[in-house]
């Protein structure tokens, strides 16, 4: 796969997305971006957004969230997958970021409870406007279908996409592909991908 062709395919994918479709990481405060992104893995964006809104309305600062009882946090976030682990993680992360600034590098973010590479990269792209690629299930599936990568490991996919696309496009890849994946059912997705694969 060459860069020019991959870029054409990405731009074509974007035409099949809905730019008004809100993603789980889109919030007006950095700490909310971080907490919502920790809640998002293996959970639909619609669910993450709905639950995050309830959570942030009740606890409107990292300090208040860190002081909340674990039982109460679990009760609120129960609709998200792995809610018990995520409840512990967001409470502990809220405690840390209530005392210090949120890190601005992937390496430092990885020290926070519940933050893996995908969460760190999505946070950095949204909150810090950084050139990063957050690899989730949508990215894994679609980048494999388009032959942008042959890897299944998220970190290896991230590195393959970094080599394939110019840096200025990195932060938009997740937004385009996740919106595309959310908008189309798998059958329709496959038809569109098939037509996009033929772009030279």
Token digits for 22?
Answer: 């809100």
d(CA 41, CA 47): 11
136: tokens are 């989730």
Domains annotated on the chain, with CATH: 3-16+132-197 (1.10.1670), 30-127 (1.10.340.30)
Q: What are the pLDDT tens digits along the chain (200 aa)? A: 789 999 999 999 999 998 888 999 999 999 999 999 999 999 999 999 999 999 999 999 999 999 999 999 999 999 999 999 999 999 999 999 999 999 999 999 999 999 999 999 999 999 999 999 999 989 999 999 999 999 999 999 999 999 999 999 999 999 999 999 888 888 889 999 999 988 87
Which of 29, 118, 159, 197 is catalytic? The answer is 118
- Model confidence, pTM: 0.90
- To the query of whether residue 118 is one of the catalytic residues in this protein, the response is yes
Please state, in angstroms and as integers, the Cα–Cα distance from residue 43 to each residue in 37, 163, 174, 189, following that order.
Answer: 10, 29, 16, 20
- SS3 sequence, the chain? CCHHHHHHHHHHHHHCCCCCCCCCCCCCCHHHHHHHHHHCCCCCHHHHHHHHHHHHHHCCCHHHHHHCCHHHHHHHHCCCCCHHHHHHHHHHHHHHHCCCCCCCCHHHHCCCCCCCHHHHHHHHHHHCCCCCCCCCHHHHHHHHHCCCCCCCCHHHHHHHHHHHCCHHHHHHHHHHHHHHHHHCCHHHHHHHHHHHHCCC
């Amino acid at each position: 796969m060459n860069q020019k062709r991959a870029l054409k395919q990405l731009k074509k994918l974007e035409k099949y997305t809905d730019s008004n479709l809100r993603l789980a990481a889109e919030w007006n405060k950095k700490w909310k971006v971080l907490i919502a992104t920790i809640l998002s893995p293996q959970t639909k964006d619609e669910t993450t957004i709905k639950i995050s809104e309830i959570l942030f309305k009740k606890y409107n600062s990292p300090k208040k969230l860190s002081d909340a009882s674990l039982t109460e946090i679990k009760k609120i976030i129960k609709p998200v997958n792995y809610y018990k682990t995520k409840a512990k993680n967001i409470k502990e992360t809220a405690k840390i970021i209530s005392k210090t600034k949120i890190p601005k590098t992937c390496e430092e973010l990885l020290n926070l409870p519940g933050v893996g590479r995908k969460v760190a990269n999505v946070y950095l792209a949204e909150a810090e406007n950084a050139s990063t690629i957050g690899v989730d299930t949508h990215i894994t599936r679609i980048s494999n279908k388009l032959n942008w990568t042959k890897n299944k490991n998220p970190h290896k996919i991230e590195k393959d996409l970094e080599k394939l696309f110019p840096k200025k496009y990195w932060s938009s890849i997740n937004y385009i592909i996740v919106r595309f994946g959310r908008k189309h059912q798998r059958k329709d997705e496959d038809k569109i991908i098939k037509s996009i694969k033929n772009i030279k």
